[in-house]
Amino acid sequence: MKTEMQVLERLKETMVSQLNSLIETTDGVLPEDINAQNVEIDFPDTDNMRKSSMFYIQPDGESIEDLSMGSDVATMDSTIFILCKGATSATLIKKVFGYYSALYSLLRGNQTLDGFVESVRLTNMDYYPAVTASKTMTAIEAHIQIQWAKEF
């Protein structure tokens, strides 16, 4: 049976291995490459960010429906926070939206996380021009749904 943590770890692994090829330059601003240190399964901690650009995957909740006598369908709602800091406001906006565009392309182009889940879909996004009253940090909050069969 696939556990929630296995699904979240697969999402993280997919982001780390596939996001860089989807990141594009926006008005001369090229966001940094993403590696395992840039992606965490955790709530964002703006005071302890390891890198100037971070992705935080936060599970929000889950619904479970009967599928058959031996399986259920799990639908997990999660939030992916994209945080960027340490540059001018104009640069931060370009960076955070560059990362969001790459994330959007990744989730649209790989809706099963390489066959690990039934589907992943981006449902909506919110933009925050200033985080913690700081003009040197900006963020996007992207909401996703992940669906998979829990066989037992």
CATH assignment at residue 70:
3.30.70.1700
Name beta bridge partners: 84: 53, 138
| Confidence at residue 21, expressed as pLDDT on a 0 to 100 scale | 95
H helices within 1-47, ranges in order? 4-18
pTM for this predicted structure: 0.94
Specify the number of domains making up the chain. Answer: 1
pLDDT digits (tens, 9 = 90+) for 22-71: 998 888 887 889 999 999 999 998 888 989 999 999 999 999 999 898 99
Task: Give the DSSP H/E element, type plus range, for residue 90.
Answer: helix 89-109
Q: Which residues of 99-131 are buried (b: 16+ CB within 10 A; e: fewer)?
A: bbebbebbbeeeeebeebbeebebeebeeeeeb
Domain that holds residue 78: 4-151
